[in-house]
Structure 1
């Protein structure tokens, strides 16, 4: 028969000391892999942004009506995404200092995952706004305004759809990385009100 032995050995005041224990994994390697995932993601985002600026920039001058506004919005998105991707890639040129304790590494990892989840929520809002603009266009008094809202709405649907897929895949990649290399190391640690406990398997 297999069970578990829970040792309630530390009060809350000692939690920081526990969190500062040295990591039993090559933290530098883990951090480097996480940076590589971010760099690859920013290259994808940058490529998408360049495509928007190049293609929609050219099409803007060759189209009229709704399509013209669609490409206008795409260019705006492309410029913003290109700036974000470029600044992020520039920031990753200098390798970050590898954390030496679990608490710092876990906080950084969770911050990364939560960032992509938060962005995914914004992407859903972009999609909803795009649908709203397309529906709102029918009630506008002028043809020009109708075309503008339809074009902008269609662009938001395109950009929001891509970004939702992008942020979802980035979250999945980072979470899988941590699930394989980091989170299993925390499986024996439990935190409760006022206590920190180690769970040790017994037979």
Structure 2
């Protein structure tokens, strides 16, 4: 009986490790699902803008022509970004990641999203600048249309990226609880 008692700590440690592994897999799955949903929203927004913008572009004139033109170009890039991100999110298996890799990946996703938030603000400012510049330019219609489109896209991306940051930040404590104390 005594020789089996020494196995009890190993057995309890094994159950704790399995529980940590299950919690880690659940966290990774939730994070991946959040990012997939965000990229599906981005892809849906891009497709909607491409379809509607292409139709409207054929009938638009003046600054609206340039507005729909910029939306079309912008959302082709958005669609490519969403497709590439979705492809990368479908490849790794969430259950097979280590805690160290999960921590690294979580921080990397947050850094990318914070960078995107900064870029989104820059897009809004660039669009506002183009709209202001349109007042005293021979390319008034073009700058006004492009500025309006960039402001719209910047605000959408700011909302999307901000929401994704909030979701990832709110789940961070769940991941940090899995880190053993020093």
Is TM-score (shorter-chain normalized) higher than 0.5? yes
Task: Tell me, in whole angstroms, the C-alpha distance in 1 between the residues paired with 2:105 and 2:43.
Answer: 24
- Corresponding residue of 1:162: 156
- Which runs of structure 2 are paired with 1:32-47 in the superposition (5 Å)? 32-47=29-44
Matches within 5 A, 1:68-87: 68-87=65-84
CA distance in 1, matches of 2:100, 2:82: 28
Partners of 2:75 and 2:93 in 1: CA distance: 28
CA–CA separation in structure 1 for the residues paired with 2:169 and 2:93: 19
Aligned equivalents of 2:32 and 2:178: distance in 1? 20
- Give the distance between the partners of 2:79 and 2:166, measured in 1 at CA: 23
Q: How far off its partner does 1:33 sit? A: 1.5
After TM superposition, the score normalised by the length of structure 2 is: 0.83
Alpha-carbon distance in structure 2 between the residues aligned to 1:177 and 1:54: 35
Gaps spanning 5+ residues in structure 2: where?
1-16
Question: Closer, same or farther in 2 for the Cα pair 1:96/1:25, shift >3 Å?
Answer: closer
Task: Give 1 or 2: higher strand fraction.
Answer: 1
Partner in structure 1 of residue 49 of structure 2: 52
Consecutive unaligned residues in structure 1, runs of 5 or more: 1-21, 190-197, 199-203
- Which residue in the other structure is 1:184 paired with? 177
Secondary structure class of the residue paired with 2:92: coil
**Aligned residue among 146, 157, 177 for 2:140:** 146
Other-structure match for 2:97 = 99
Q: C-alpha offsets along residues 86-145 of structure 1, whole Å, 9 cap, x if unaligned?
A: 122222222336332x432211111111111110000000000001001111111x2xx1
Q: Flag as ranges the 4+ runs of structure 1 deviating above 6 A.
A: none
Structure 2 match to 1:130: 127
**Distance in 2 of aligned mates of 1:185 and 1:88:** 27
Q: Deviations over 1:59-87 (max 9, x none)?
A: 11101010110000000111111111112
**Higher RCO (C-alpha 8 Å, min separation 6):** 1
State the 1:25 CA deviation. Answer: 4.3
Higher normalized helix content (fraction of residues): 2
Q: Is the Cα contact below 8 Å between 1:32 and 1:95 reproduced in 2?
A: no
Residue in 2 aligned with 1:88?
A: 85
CA distance in 1, matches of 2:90, 2:101: 21
- The DSSP-based 3-state class of the residue aligned with 2:97 is coil
Counting matched residue pairs gives: 163
